Amino acid sequence: MAGDATRPAPTSAVAALGALRGGSDTIAAIATPPGRGALAIVRLSGADAEQVASRVVAGWPTPARVATLAILRDPATGEVLDEAIVTRFEGGRSFTGEPMVELSTHGGVVTSALVLGALLAAGARQAAPGEFTRRAVASGKLTLTQGEAIGDVIDATSRAAQRVALATLDGGLARRVVALRDALLEVEALIAYEIDFPEEDDGPIAPARVSESVARVASMLDALLATAPAGELVREGAVVVLAGPPNAGKSSLFNALLGQARALVTPIPGTTRDAIEAVVDGRSWPLRLVDTAGLRETADSLERLGIEVSERYLERAQVVLACAEHAAGLAATCAWISRLTGAPVIEVATKRDRPEAEPVASGSAALEVSAETGAGLDALLARIEDTLATALGAPSFDAPVVTRARHLVALRAAREELAAFATAWSAAALPAPVMAVHLRSAVGALEELIGVVDTEDVLDRVFRSFCVGK
């Protein structure tokens, strides 16, 4: 188009809009996990979802929002693929906000894959991971924090993570951030009143009134920020490192603990030299168990590499299981660990089923376990949980928790701006309108989290609180 050459390139604007951009072509994907099951769900969403579906679903259109039995055919060959329950959602009344179709096919890998293939042949595109949710956010059906929480629900590795994710989905975090923003706007309104209405009945604002309001917001922010470590634990799991000399039975214990917990979720493969991780479902926290290479002084550079990996894990451990067969081994291991971390250490005397096992000295805190017989495993798991609870406190599921790096960054930015404002205010070091830049930046950081911006809000507060105008 000739006219386009004279227009400024829109790319900068696209860049300014940032990472949230989603497409609006029509996407399709299998929504249920792969594997055997009675049913599989294939989803289709986008402006042309109806058109795509009409090429595959016999008797289209089905009534909106009514589950309807229908024959699915390959659009090219006309071959019958399955008999499925089809539900049609109109734009604006679906999960993504776009026209959507959900097809409940018979289970198994093959049928659902055939149906998906048919939809792609009919004009849809394979959805990228998380794209349905992204569209729901883009259409305003979900707030950004809610959208992220859905991602967390899908990724949730334990009951604890799922509960926190669900609480966020309720808008708990969004509500807290909105409340914080409101409180900050109140302070901004005080400053705005000072600047915009210098001759009013109420006279100047007492400096203490601003300081107190700021202190109140700061403590609210701190309370929310304080949940960040817990949030990370909930998402990542508490790191529980098994450490000890080579052949102390760590790997057997690791496997036995996984078996005992009966909730293996994500085994992460590794070589014997590297650490092996697995997340199991703990009572309050997910536990990220890490089996590490044996600790000993060695000249072997290859083995040394493995030990360095172990040490790095120890540095970020929330709990360490010091494992050894003998008292001497336990002592050496504890000494080694204490050089690297202050995390609580649980001493574990391993291989207690062996006849040659030396009895644990009376007064020793070491727990006796046998990976072979399963003896002591329950007690060990309980001890891990208790130790975590003592060190970290119990997670609180009714209060929202900061679980995302993005939230943390924004909240910290807001906190820093607020601190800068408070410092300047108490020293009266800058004119109020200059200091107010910090307040605005703090509000801006929060607004980026919840996606609202409106300077009118400040004025509304001024007019509500003060009698202004001559």
Partner 1 sequence: MGSHVNIEATFDVVVVGAGHAGTEAAVAAARLGARVAIVTSALETIGQMSCNPAIGGVAKGTVVREVDALGGIMGRATDLATLQFRMLNRGKGPAVWAPRAQCDRGLYRRAVRSLLEEHATLATIQGTVARLLIDEGSVVGIETLEGRRFGASCVVLTTGTFLRGRIHIGTETKLAGGRAGEPPAVHLAEQLESLGLQVARFKTGTPPRIDGRSVDYSRLERQESEIEAFDYSWSHFWDSPRRAGETTRHPRQLPCWITFAGDEAKAVVRENIGRSAMYGGAIGSRGPRYCPSVEDKILRFPDAERHQIFLEPEGHDTHELYVNGLSTSLPVDVQLRMLHAVPGLESARMTRAGYAIEYDYYPPTQLDATLQLRALSGLFFAGQINGTTGYEEAAGQGVVAGYNAALRARGETPLILGRSSSYIGVLVDDLVTRGVDEPYRLFTSRSEFRLTVRQDNALRRLAPVALERGAFDEREARVVERRMTEEDRSRDLAERTSIRPEQAAPVLAAAGSAPLAHSMKVVEVAKRQGVSLLDLLRAAEIAELPAAEAAVTAELEIKYGGYFERERAQAEKMQRLDAFPLGGGIPYGEMRSLSMEARQKLLALTPATLAQASRIPGVSPSDLQNLVLEIERRRARASG
Q: What is the smallest separation between the CB atom of 118 and partner 1, expressed in angstroms?
A: 24
Q: Which is nearer to partner 1, 181 or 352 (CB)?
A: 181
Calculate the alpha carbon distances from 337 to 253, 296, 342, 347, 413 in Å: 19, 12, 8, 11, 35
Residue 380's H or E segment, with its range, is helix 377-392
Mark out the alpha helices in 172-325 (DSSP H runs).
172-196, 207-225, 228-236, 250-261, 301-315
Q: Which is nearer to partner 1, 1 or 208 (CB)?
A: 1
Q: Which is nearer to partner 1, 38 or 467 (CB)?
A: 467
Residue 436, interface with partner 1 (CB under 8 A)?
yes
Q: What residues from 272 to 311 belong to the interface with partner 1 (CB under 8 A)? A: none
Sign of torsion over alpha carbons 240, 222, 168, 15:
negative
Q: Which is nearer to partner 1, 82 or 188 (CB)?
A: 188
C-alpha to C-alpha distance for 442 and 145, rounded to whole angstroms: 18
Q: Which of 24, 54, 68, 247 binds partner 1 (CB under 8 A)?
A: 24
Residue 26, interface with partner 1 (CB under 8 A)?
no
Q: Which is nearer to partner 1, 139 or 341 (CB)?
A: 139
Q: Which of 78, 230, 261, 437 binds partner 1 (CB under 8 A)?
A: 437
Q: What is the smallest separation between the CB atom of 94 and partner 1, expressed in angstroms?
A: 12
Residue 33, interface with partner 1 (CB under 8 A)?
no
Q: Which of 104, 111, 139, 341 binds partner 1 (CB under 8 A)?
A: 139
Calculate the alpha carbon distances from 221 to 35, 80, 184, 399, 440 in Å: 44, 58, 11, 14, 16
Q: Which is nearer to partner 1, 27 or 289 (CB)?
A: 27
Closest CA to 404 of 159, 71, 165: 165
In this structure, what token pair is assigned to residue 397? Answer: 């599921």
Q: Which is nearer to partner 1, 363 or 469 (CB)?
A: 469
Length of the chain in residues, anyone?
A: 470
Residue 4, interface with partner 1 (CB under 8 A)?
yes
**Which residues is 105 bridged to in the sheet?**
40
C-alpha to C-alpha distance for 388 and 55, rounded to whole angstroms: 56
Residue 129, interface with partner 1 (CB under 8 A)?
no
Residue 47, interface with partner 1 (CB under 8 A)?
yes
Q: What is the smallest separation between the CB atom of 230 and partner 1, expressed in angstroms?
A: 29
Q: Which is nearer to partner 1, 8 or 342 (CB)?
A: 8
Q: Which is nearer to partner 1, 199 or 398 (CB)?
A: 199
Number of residues forming the site for partner 1 (CB under 8 A): 58
What are the contacts of 379-385 at 24+ separation with CB within 8 A? 380/257, 380/321, 380/346, 380/348, 381/257, 381/260, 381/261, 381/282, 383/346, 384/240, 384/282, 384/287, 384/319, 384/321, 384/346, 385/282, 385/283, 385/284, 385/285
Q: Which is nearer to partner 1, 84 or 100 (CB)?
A: 100
How far is C-alpha 72 from the chain's CA centre? 37
Q: Which of 50, 82, 98, 347 binds partner 1 (CB under 8 A)?
A: 98
Among the residue ranges 295-303, 332-340, 359-367, 454-462, the one whose residues contact partner 1 (CB under 8 A): 454-462
In this structure, what token pair is assigned to residue 38? Answer: 């009675």
Q: What is the smallest separation between the CB atom of 207 and partner 1, expressed in angstroms?
A: 13
Q: What is the smallest separation between the CB atom of 181 and partner 1, expressed in angstroms?
A: 15
Q: What is the DSSP string of 18-59?
A: GGG----S-EEEE-SPSS--SEEEEEEESTTHHHHHHTTBTT
Residue 469, interface with partner 1 (CB under 8 A)?
yes
Taking residues 191 to 230 in sequence order and writing x for each that binds partner 1 by CB under 8 A, - otherwise, the string is -x-xxxxxxxxx----------------------------
* Burial of 263 (C-beta count, 10 Å sphere; 0-12/13-18/19+): middle
237 Rama class: left (phi>0) / alpha (psi -120 to 50) / beta: left
Residue 149, interface with partner 1 (CB under 8 A)?
no
Residue 14, interface with partner 1 (CB under 8 A)?
yes
State the residues that interact with partner 1 by CB under 8 A.
Answer: 1, 4, 7-8, 10, 12-17, 20-24, 47, 91-92, 98-99, 137-140, 188, 192, 194-202, 429-434, 436-437, 440-441, 451, 454-456, 458-459, 462-463, 467-470
